[in-house]
Amino acid sequence: MLNILAISGSLRAASTNSALVAALARNAPPGCRVTVYDGLGRLPIFNPDDEGERTPLEASALIDAVTQADGVVISCPEYAHGVPGGLKNALDWLVSRDAAVAKPAMLVHASPRSLFARAALDEIMRTMSFALCGDVLEIALLGKKPPEVEAILAEAASQPAMHDALNAFADFIRAR
């Protein structure tokens, strides 16, 4: 059984990115368990002085979750052509240690735009030595309200798309 950690880069209650990672968790194919990380908003702002023995509990929990996962899936909005601070902060807590090194990761997209954030995340995560799988899932949820989001995620085409993406990611993980 592969354990995949899914992270949404949005803290919004009605977040489309969070809806997408929740749907991935509900639709994981056999052989994959997807767990949604819910601590993004509780992480202290990264400070290199607070590493080692001073690492805050919430940061340790994130580091442990990434370390123990076989792979990480991230769905992230774009703010002002960049990666939202909350997600960048989470990634910063992972830089000076082994958690991200060679860790398989896949970016999934809830917006057909966000090309700057996609490119930035790709660059950041490669620099951190994540092993990035190619982009394989985009479900356009931008601007949709929760009932519409859930309807799109329940559509006949969405479920096989999520299965296929997770199966491709599982193959990528197993091939490493």
Full DSSP string of the chain:
-EEEEEEES---TT-HHHHHHHHHHHTPPTTEEEEE---GGGPPPP-GGG-GGG--HHHHHHHHHHHH-SEEEEE---BTTB--HHHHHHHHHTTTSSTTTT-EEEEEES-S--HHHHHHHHHHHHHTT-EEPPP-EE---TT--HHHHHHHHHSTTHHHHHHHHHHHHHHHHHT-
Q: Identify the residue among 2, 5, 6, 17 touching ligand FMN (CB under 6 A).
A: 17
Give the contact letters, 116-155, x = binds to ligand FMN (CB under 6 A), - = no: --------------------------x-------------
Give the nearest distance from C-beta 31 to ligand FMN in angstroms: 28
Distance CA 37, CA 8 (A): 8
Kindly indicate which of the ranges 10-18, 24-32, 36-44, 48-56 contains the residues binding ligand FMN, using the contact rule CB under 6 A: 10-18
The answer to whether 26 contacts ligand FMN (rule: CB under 6 A) is no
Choice between 70 and 138, CB closer to ligand FMN: 138
Which member of 81, 126, 174, 176 binds ligand FMN (CB under 6 A)? 81
Q: Which is nearer to ligand FMN, 79 or 167 (CB)?
A: 79
> What is the per-residue binding string for ligand FMN in 51-80, x denoting contact by CB under 6 A?
--------------------------xxxx
Chain centre distance of CA 134: 14
CB of 77: closest distance to ligand FMN in angstroms? 3
Return residues touching ligand FMN (CB under 6 A): 10, 12, 15-18, 77-81, 110-111, 113-114, 142
